[in-house]
Amino acid sequence: MQTKAKSEAEKEQRPAVILAIYSWDMVLALLALLAALAAFAGQATVGSRTVSVTLGEQILAAVSAASLGGLLIILATLLTRRQRWVRRAQIIIFATDTVVGAASLLVAALLPGQGLEAVSALTSILLLLVDAIALVALTGERVVAWYNAAVAMPRYISATIAFWAASSLVLIVLQALR
């Protein structure tokens, strides 16, 4: 009888990887909010030259970064709830962030005049690697079993993810046109 109670308690215990992902969410949210403030600098360095950034592009970059920061804060606070949509949204965000980051690096590396710096590239690759590790961790057996409540994802989360992804792609295209 005691063995059965012990196994039930082990099933109910939250996987430690969820707390690590919570911490990573908060670090990324802080970086995203700093990026939202930095978007209003008015200029961007492209290779060895400085170019002016239009007000519309500054606003789009700030709102895009702020939407990512807001999403990460919301999901981090909900991460300990056992609803499947939280895990699904987290996976979508990490996958999208990895794809957008890789596309941005690829544009900077392949297009002439973009001037990809080694330190910036290594930092971006490190962030992408941690995102990929978190993505893999979210697909682990214990984590999948933890999220057992089937509840639909709120529309505002889906809409914010779609806006963030679309605005990030627009910003990559604008980066390529400089």
Q: What are phi and psi of 79, to 5 degrees?
A: -60, -30
Let me know: does 33 contact 87? Beta carbons within 8 Å: no
C-alpha pair distances (Å), 36 with each of 53, 66, 106, 115: 14, 6, 22, 23
Q: Over the stretch 5-61, which tens digit does the pLDDT of each residue have?
A: 545 554 568 888 999 999 999 999 999 999 999 888 877 665 556 777 888 888 999
- Contact by Cβ (8 Å): 87, 157: no
Domain count, the chain: 1
Question: Which residues contact residue 26 at a Cβ distance below 8 angstroms, ignoring those fewer than 6 apart?
Answer: 72, 73, 76
Q: Which domain holds residue 17?
A: 2-177
pLDDT at 69: 96
Residue 128 pLDDT exceeds 90: yes
pTM: 0.84
Distance CA 146, CA 84 (A): 9
